[in-house]
Structure 1
Amino acid sequence: MEIVLNIGIVLSIFLGILLFSKKDKVLTDNLLAAWLFVIGIHLTGYFLFHKGYWEMYPHLIGVTAPLPFLYGPFLYLYVLYSIKNNSHLRKVDYLHFLPALLSYFLMFHFFFFYSTKKKVQVYKGTIDDYNGTLASIMLVGFIISGITYTILAYIKLVKREKVVQESFSDTTRINLKWLRYTIIGIGLFFLVGTIVSILREVIGFQFPFNADILFYSIIVGFIVFTGYSGIRQQDLFANTSIQEIELVKTESEYKNSSLKKDDATKIHDELLELMKEDKPYLNPKLTISELAQDLSTSTNHLSQVINQYEKVNFYDFVNKYRVEEFIENAQNNSEFSLLANAYDSGFNSKSTFNTAFKKIKSVTPSQYLSSLKS
């Protein structure tokens, strides 16, 4: 138990310092760094409790109790601002931290007016006062907060995925999976905490081991995973600026668009001509902003045209051309490997190429080429 806690404390503080000290950091860096510091302080508080320091130094009792109220807001705000090009939090965002602040306010009398002896009695449950009720209310609040923010964060992640696929033709350097796993991990933390709390506090079940190790191990695992992602994926510790664009795909959703039908048809014709003649899809880092600039239109209007006329998002639209380019290259340059022809067709990684090809052709590249020979 102590080893797990020590690893979590050291890593959370180290990664927090790393993020705060990095050059050209963005808002999401600061949010993640602050979250890691909060986790580090929370784990330190539990470590002191586990080692028996609360009885030795009663003024430490309950100091970190409200911190779990911050987990959900930090998760939600991190995901939210990964799809917004903002440099500062909005004033309304600070409301997410009110439950934690309110908890400290309600515990103010306990912190500053209880004697050390009385604090120990409250801690051991030998006296019954409002703090027992407050602790129960806070526990229910943790559960509700955690589940609610996990769901909200996941909804925002789905939106972020749509933004990425409407904006970029290659998502290799834009990591989404680690964020999905982070949301699942925090959700698992609150789920396990809920189950353990119900079994222990409501039903009265006595675990044959220290059940706290279950959800604290999840938190430490989250910290380790965050560190691993930071080393393996540049995007966690580097600025990936993604601006929100209009994400709508049906005629009814476009009814308020300023783009007229004649103008949309013209943009579509020019787009197809550009893709055929200039082959901009050969640029593996092509973005919708660059393509819109070539067509002298806005990214929103171009996104609308692609969605309405081609019935796909920007990512799939570009990769469709790359797949056709690959097929032509593979037939004309059979002496080259499949991956070499894929790179020459605008793809930037083997995994992206294989996934895109199978999605469009329903078979693997080698299977498709074999079928052409038969």
Structure 2
Amino acid sequence: MTVVLNIGIVLSFFLGILLFSKKDKVLTDNILSLWLVVIGIHLTGYFLNYKGYWDLYPHLIGITAPFPLLYGPFLYLYVRYSLKSKKHIQKRDYIHFAPALVSYLLMMPFYFTYTADEKVQVDKGLIDDYGLFSTILLLSFIISGIAYAILAYRMLLKRHKIVEDNYSYSNRIDMNWLRFAILGIGSVFITAAAVTIMREMLRLQFPFNADILFYSIIVAFVVFIGYSGIRQQDLFTNTVKNEIDLLRTESEYKRSGLKQELAIQKHGELLELMQKEKPYLNPKLTLSELANTLSLSSNHLSQIINQYEQVNFHDFVNKYRVEEFIQRVQSNKNFSLLAHALDSGFNSKSSFNNVFRKHKSVTPSQYISELKF
């Protein structure tokens, strides 16, 4: 347990300082940096308790007690501002830290009026002054962590829909690593909930220190989010449009003002453009760029693609890239599959493989092996 905690503490502070000192850092760098430092302090507090230092220095007891209430807000704000072009946190977002602040205010009498002996007795349950408060605080930790993870995940799904509707590429704006980060922090609090139910309600006695489960996941989370946050530098410079009104439902399309005659005409022009001009060969083609070529608004073009092609913009464009790739392979066997993929408009090997499997249900090499040249 000591080794796990030491790894978590060192990594938290190291990655936090590394992020904070990174050149050209943006708001999300600062949020993640501060969050990692908070995690480092929290792990340090538990380490001191685990090693018995609270008995030697009772005034350390409870200093980091409300810290888990900060995890959810940091997760939410990190995801929120990873998807928004903002240089500063909006004032209203500071309200997310209010529960932690209130907890500290309620603990002020414990910090400043209790003697060292009284603090030890409270910690060991011999004085029940904070028994109800501790229970409420524990439940708040669990509810806060799970609720914020759900909010962050829903926000990520909505942004994924915007990306699919407006971009033909996803390598630079891929949020899968954030999805795993959200699931990771959610698992921390789900584990805490499970341990609490088994230990407090079912009165089960673990043959080991059950806290190691909770803190081991936190350490693993530090390793993952620290590595991913630094490695995925593109996520810190927003490349995605943030207007939520880019999303349109079928009922909203009916009120968009686009007449059916014009829609049919523009749909024909779109298909002709894709066949003759091949704009999909541009690996960074966007909905707005294609709309400008057709003298349409982005919303109207999105409506046409969704209604007449029954797919989003991302799948519509990449369908042409896949067919272009197949034609190029059939006409020239001297180039590698990757070279043909890049020439067809794909911007990376991973995105090409993912898109190809989605459209053809097999890998590129499997598909090519079945072709008769």
TM-score normalised to structure 2 length = 0.92
* Aligned CA distance change for structure 1 residues 68 and 91 (closer, same or farther; 3 Å): same
Shift of 1:79: 1.7
Shift of 1:222: 0.6
Q: CA contact under 8 A between 1:248 and 1:254: conserved in structure 2?
A: no
What is the rounded CA distance, in whole Å, between the counterparts of 1:87 and 1:260 in structure 2? 40
Q: CA contact under 8 A between 2:171 and 2:351: conserved in structure 1?
A: yes
What is the rounded CA distance, in whole Å, between the counterparts of 2:84 and 2:293 in structure 1? 25
Residue 156 of structure 2 corresponds to which residue in structure 1? Answer: 157
Query: SS in structure 1 opposite 2:179?
Result: helix
What is the rounded CA distance, in whole Å, between the counterparts of 1:139 and 1:101 in structure 2? 15
Residue 361 of structure 1 corresponds to which residue in structure 2? Answer: 360
* Aligned CA distance change for structure 1 residues 302 and 31 (closer, same or farther; 3 Å): farther
Q: CA contact under 8 A between 1:75 and 1:153: conserved in structure 2?
A: yes
Query: SS in structure 1 opposite 2:316?
Result: helix
Q: CA contact under 8 A between 2:84 and 2:238: conserved in structure 1?
A: no
Q: CA contact under 8 A between 2:85 and 2:238: conserved in structure 1?
A: no
**Match for 2:237 among 230, 234, 239?**
239
Shift of 1:25: 2.4
Shift of 1:46: 0.7
* Aligned CA distance change for structure 1 residues 151 and 29 (closer, same or farther; 3 Å): same
Shift of 1:220: 0.5
What is the rounded CA distance, in whole Å, between the counterparts of 2:91 and 2:257 in structure 1? 31
What is the rounded CA distance, in whole Å, between the counterparts of 1:163 and 1:33 in structure 2? 28
Which stretches in structure 1 are left out of the alignment for 5+ residues? none
Root-mean-square deviation (CA), in Å?
2.2
What is the rounded CA distance, in whole Å, between the counterparts of 1:156 and 1:290 in structure 2? 26
Residue 302 of structure 1 corresponds to which residue in structure 2? Answer: 301
Determine what percentage of the aligned residue pairs are the same residue: 66
What is the rounded CA distance, in whole Å, between the counterparts of 1:342 and 1:203 in structure 2? 58
Greater alpha carbon shift after TM alignment, 214-223 vs 339-348: 339-348
Residue 99 of structure 1 corresponds to which residue in structure 2? Answer: 99
Q: Deviations over 1:105-152 (max 9, x none)?
A: 1111111111122111111111122x1110011011111111211111
* Aligned CA distance change for structure 1 residues 333 and 239 (closer, same or farther; 3 Å): same
Residue 334 of structure 1 corresponds to which residue in structure 2? Answer: 333
What is the rounded CA distance, in whole Å, between the counterparts of 2:198 and 2:151 in structure 1? 27
Q: Deviations over 1:181-227 (max 9, x none)?
A: 11111111111111111222223322221111111010000111123
Letter of the aligned partner of 2:82 in structure 1? S
Query: SS in structure 2 opposite 1:38?
Result: helix
Greater alpha carbon shift after TM alignment, 30-39 vs 297-306: 297-306
What is the rounded CA distance, in whole Å, between the counterparts of 1:268 and 1:211 in structure 2? 61
Residue 285 of structure 1 corresponds to which residue in structure 2? Answer: 284
Shift of 1:264: 4.0
Q: CA contact under 8 A between 1:83 and 1:163: conserved in structure 2?
A: no
Shift of 1:103: 0.7
Q: CA contact under 8 A between 2:28 and 2:82: conserved in structure 1?
A: yes
* Aligned CA distance change for structure 1 residues 326 and 303 (closer, same or farther; 3 Å): same
Shift of 1:300: 3.2
* Aligned CA distance change for structure 1 residues 366 and 313 (closer, same or farther; 3 Å): same
What is the rounded CA distance, in whole Å, between the counterparts of 2:353 and 2:218 in structure 1? 35
Residue 198 of structure 1 corresponds to which residue in structure 2? Answer: 197
Letter of the aligned partner of 2:226 in structure 1? G
Residue 54 of structure 2 corresponds to which residue in structure 1? Answer: 54
Q: Deviations over 1:303-331 (max 9, x none)?
A: 33322232211211111110111121111
Shift of 1:26: 2.4
Q: Deviations over 1:49-72 (max 9, x none)?
A: 112221222221111110101111
Residue 220 of structure 2 corresponds to which residue in structure 1? Answer: 221
* Count of aligned positions: 372
Residue 118 of structure 1 corresponds to which residue in structure 2? Answer: 118
Letter of the aligned partner of 2:207 in structure 1? P
Q: Deviations over 1:146-167 (max 9, x none)?
A: 1211111111121122222223
What is the rounded CA distance, in whole Å, between the counterparts of 1:293 and 1:127 in structure 2? 71
What is the rounded CA distance, in whole Å, between the counterparts of 2:85 and 2:254 in structure 1? 27
What is the rounded CA distance, in whole Å, between the counterparts of 2:81 and 2:308 in structure 1? 31
Superposition pairs for residues 1-374 of structure 1, below 5 Å? 1-129=1-129, 131-230=130-229, 232-236=231-235, 238-245=236-243, 246-248=245-247, 250-373=249-372
Letter of the aligned partner of 1:33 in structure 2? S
* Aligned CA distance change for structure 1 residues 297 and 22 (closer, same or farther; 3 Å): farther
Greater alpha carbon shift after TM alignment, 116-125 vs 164-173: 164-173
What is the rounded CA distance, in whole Å, between the counterparts of 2:253 and 2:102 in structure 1? 43
What is the rounded CA distance, in whole Å, between the counterparts of 1:164 and 1:157 in structure 2? 10
* Aligned CA distance change for structure 1 residues 334 and 177 (closer, same or farther; 3 Å): same
Greater alpha carbon shift after TM alignment, 281-290 vs 185-194: 281-290
Q: CA contact under 8 A between 1:35 and 1:71: conserved in structure 2?
A: yes
Q: CA contact under 8 A between 1:162 and 1:247: conserved in structure 2?
A: no
Q: CA contact under 8 A between 1:168 and 1:314: conserved in structure 2?
A: yes
Q: CA contact under 8 A between 1:173 and 1:234: conserved in structure 2?
A: no
Greater alpha carbon shift after TM alignment, 356-365 vs 105-114: 356-365
What is the rounded CA distance, in whole Å, between the counterparts of 1:372 and 1:273 in structure 2? 27
TM-score normalised to structure 1 length = 0.91
Q: Deviations over 1:330-366 (max 9, x none)?
A: 1111222222211211112233222222322334434
What is the rounded CA distance, in whole Å, between the counterparts of 1:21 and 1:301 in structure 2? 44
